[in-house]
Amino acid sequence: MTALPEKIGKYEIQGILGRGGMGVVYKGYDRAIARGVAIKAITKASLDNEELKHVVARFRHEAQAVGRLVHPRIVQIYDYGEDEQVAYIVMELVNGKPLSQHLAQETGYEVREVGEVIRQLLDGLGHAHAEGVVHRDIKPSNILVNSDGRIKLSDFGIARIESSNLTQVGDVLGTPHYMAPEQFLGAEIDAQADLYSVGVIAYELLTGRKPFTGNTASVMQQALNADPEAPSTLKPKLSASMDAVLLKALAKKREDRFRSAQEFADAFREAVNDTLNPAAAAMPAAPAPAAPDPSALLNAARMISTAPPPAATAAGMPDLTGDSAISLDTGVKKGRLLVIDDEERILTALKSLFRERYHVFATTDGHKALDFLRRYQMHVVISDQRMPIMTGVDLLRQSRDVSPRSVRILLTGYSDLAAIVGSINDGEIYRFISKPWDNAELQRIVAEAVTIALELADTKVAAAELPEKMTAGVLVIDKDEEIFRVTRELAGARCPVYYAADLDGALALMHANEIAVVITDVEAGHEQVMAMLKILKQENPQILTIVVTTASDSELVIELINQAQIFRFLNKPVNVRLLKGHVEAALQRYLTYKQTPQLLDAHRVQQAESVRASSIGQRILEGIKTLRGKWFGGR
């Protein structure tokens, strides 16, 4: 047996997590920041010269593919290194085991549990596909399951990045039982192959067997020529809609499958609901309900307060409950809070804190929370981040679509950078609050959020159309001109794109031109740029900010959320497609603010008095304080 190395690069080696065809995965420790890591390493001496170049190139390719992905459902890449002996990838250490181990141990999965696994898997894949990364080897051994049920997608070793020529048409890559028909044929592979593989996994989890069985040759023939049995013939309790969803996912032709991970996820969620509620699935669809009036909510609250304690659901979670002392006065506007946390003691504490001023509803189940939001308008949604059924970022992202006028607050006791970034880019949260919280500070923030939501409750909002040409422009602030050049290429035909290398140049351009979007690197003159972002949002909230950085400091990002309300966050090296989408979304939002200025109230930030009073703050304030009146109608 090979001796355990003491170190790989700067990382101390503490043990072996696993072995595979590409090498060994070690448990490591980064002493500089006191963090455990996983290190996938290949020993160059174990490969002949002809293999070495190809294998190391693919290994490096994996680091590049996943390094651009920041998502709570994808194992994060921290570092890549190479010396004469080894090439290695440093990754997030996941405390869990592969889904394949659960299946090998004949661990049974309830339909609701399968629904949650597949939802998380499709959520991560949807992000990867949006970034132009196709995994191409989705299988249970590449899905890590934490003890609390959260999953992480790993091993992008044969992933394809758009514009990459590392693998060519004709390469047959993947694991036979989970490969799409086009993979067996060596055809060009796209996101549809990943979605097919997810269909195989869902089929296996629900029925206890794979769609096609036998040796590789037999599986290939079946995948190309045979149709799988309908899942309900193996498990009669599965709904007809589940049959339809899985057979569509496993269609031979790509064009007959789901077009995206989101479409698959939506259909699968409905099929799970139909399976769990067969009576409701058999009933004809009811017309969409009208918007509830205050008396309807009053009746619902009364039923909650007089009903006996709710029975536990199949997932062990209680039904949505309201404050037992709730009493709605329909003649007075009173804020409504929906709180989601998996700890009952937290729900009890928050209900006790807010029950005198607001109507408070609480649940431990994100799915129940979303169903409630569809029926009743909540002014503020406060969600914990780390929950076993649905993460806070996932819930807030979906609540943005279900209840766009609700003000969203993320409450958490830990700092997961990927989750925090997701809360900005997908959930558009109002504030980030750390546990344990200060009661006075929390009450102040919630009071602000409720005030904003009540003011906006009756505001008619329609997203502005993004024109081919607009006068408001994009300002890039960075010592390096690379982001400016890329942005000019992406948006220059639609609007002016300006460049400033420093703060003074930026202030001059903002004074002379109408600026809709600022793109800046927070590491370029860090303190000055941070001060500018804070004061800019205080004085001119109509300007949207996109932050580009290589920083991995979660506290910095939290500060930017709470004090500067940044619109989007991008890691370097920048994904061009993502940058284009963020810029267009920011320009559209700017125009929406212009036609409905009341929406700017949802972007209030607390004035950072110490920043404003500093010499740099005074200089910034002098440079930008007139912008809103000059370019935005004086509101």
Model pLDDT for residues 279-315, shown as the tens digit of each residue: 655 555 444 444 444 444 444 433 333 333 333 333 3
Mean pLDDT of 371-392: 83
In a domain, 467, yes or no: no
Residues 317, 347, single domain; the answer is yes
Give the model's confidence band at 610: pLDDT under 50 very low, under 70 low, under 90 confident, else very high.
low
Greater confidence (118 vs 2) lies with 118
In a domain, 563, yes or no: yes
pLDDT in tens, 517-550: 999 987 645 677 778 888 887 778 888 889 887 6
Residues 329, 277, single domain; the answer is no
The segment with the largest mean pLDDT, out of 142-151, 190-199, 323-332, 340-349, is: 190-199
Q: Is 11 helix (H, G, I), strand (E, B) or coil?
A: strand
Predicted local confidence at residue 436, as pLDDT: 80
Mean pLDDT of 368-381: 88
pLDDT in tens, 446-471: 888 888 788 766 666 666 788 999 99
Structural domain tally of the chain?
4
In a domain, 466, yes or no: no
Helix/strand/coil (H/E/C) assignment for every residue in 62-99: HHHHHHCCCCCCECCEEEEEECCCEEEEEEECCCEEEH
In a domain, 463, yes or no: no
How far, in Å, are 156, 184, 366, 570 from residue 70 at the CA level?
14, 30, 22, 9
Residue 581, pLDDT above cutoff 50? yes
Residues 524, 432, single domain; the answer is no
CATH number, domain of 249, equals 1.10.510.10
**Strands annotated E in 417-551:** 431-434, 473-477, 497-500, 515-521, 544-549
Mean pLDDT of 360-370: 88
Predicted local confidence at residue 495, as pLDDT: 95
User: Of 42, 77, 92, which one is at a domain's C-terminal end?
Assistant: 92
Predicted local confidence at residue 269, as pLDDT: 92
Residues 183, 216, single domain; the answer is yes
pLDDT in tens, 22-49: 578 889 998 888 888 989 888 887 777 7
Greater confidence (388 vs 593) lies with 593
Predicted local confidence at residue 240, as pLDDT: 92
CATH number, domain of 395, equals 3.40.50.2300
Give the model's confidence band at 320: pLDDT under 50 very low, under 70 low, under 90 confident, else very high.
low
Residue 257, pLDDT above cutoff 60? yes
Residue 403, pLDDT above cutoff 90? no
Greater confidence (467 vs 603) lies with 467
Mean pLDDT of 251-261: 92
**Strands annotated E in 140-230:** 143-146, 151-153, 160-161
Residues 269, 369, single domain; the answer is no
Residues 276, 203, single domain; the answer is yes
Residues 261, 122, single domain; the answer is yes
Greater confidence (67 vs 591) lies with 591
User: Of 39, 59, 92, which one is at a domain's C-terminal end?
Assistant: 92
Give the rounded distance of the alpha carbon of 571 from its chain centre. 14
List the domain range (segments joined by +) for residue 501: 473-631
Residue 165, pLDDT above cutoff 50? no
Lateral strand order in the sheet of 96-98: 96-98, 143-146, 151-153
* Residue 99 burial (10 A CB sphere; 0-12, 13-18, 19+): buried
Predicted local confidence at residue 163, as pLDDT: 35
Residues 78, 105, single domain; the answer is no
Greater confidence (296 vs 433) lies with 433
DSSP state letter for 153: E
Residues 310, 449, single domain; the answer is yes
CATH number, domain of 39, equals 3.30.200.20
In angstroms, the CA 377 to CA 371 distance is 11
Residue 93's CB is within 10 A of a number of other CB atoms, namely 18
The segment with the largest mean pLDDT, out of 51-55, 169-173, 540-544, is: 540-544
Residues 112, 256, single domain; the answer is yes
Residues 164, 84, single domain; the answer is no
In a domain, 289, yes or no: no
DSSP state letter for 59: H
Of 20, 260, 267, 246, nearest to 142 (Cα)? 20
Residues 406, 484, single domain; the answer is no
Q: Which has the minimum average pLDDT: 70-84, 117-131, 246-260, 304-318?
A: 304-318
In a domain, 507, yes or no: yes
In a domain, 461, yes or no: no
Average per-residue pLDDT for the chain? 78
Q: Is 361 helix (H, G, I), strand (E, B) or coil?
A: strand
The segment with the largest mean pLDDT, out of 185-189, 339-343, 468-472, is: 468-472
Give the model's confidence band at 476: pLDDT under 50 very low, under 70 low, under 90 confident, else very high.
very high
Predicted local confidence at residue 196, as pLDDT: 95
User: Of 62, 92, 122, which one is at a domain's C-terminal end?
Assistant: 92
Catalytic residues: 137
Residue 12, pLDDT above cutoff 80? yes
Predicted local confidence at residue 604, as pLDDT: 62
pLDDT in tens, 225-252: 999 999 999 999 999 999 999 999 999 9
Residue 615, pLDDT above cutoff 60? yes
Give the model's confidence band at 21: pLDDT under 50 very low, under 70 low, under 90 confident, else very high.
low
In a domain, 2, yes or no: no
Residue 191, pLDDT above cutoff 70? yes
Greater confidence (251 vs 562) lies with 251
Q: Which has the minimum average pLDDT: 55-59, 204-208, 302-306, 457-461?
A: 302-306
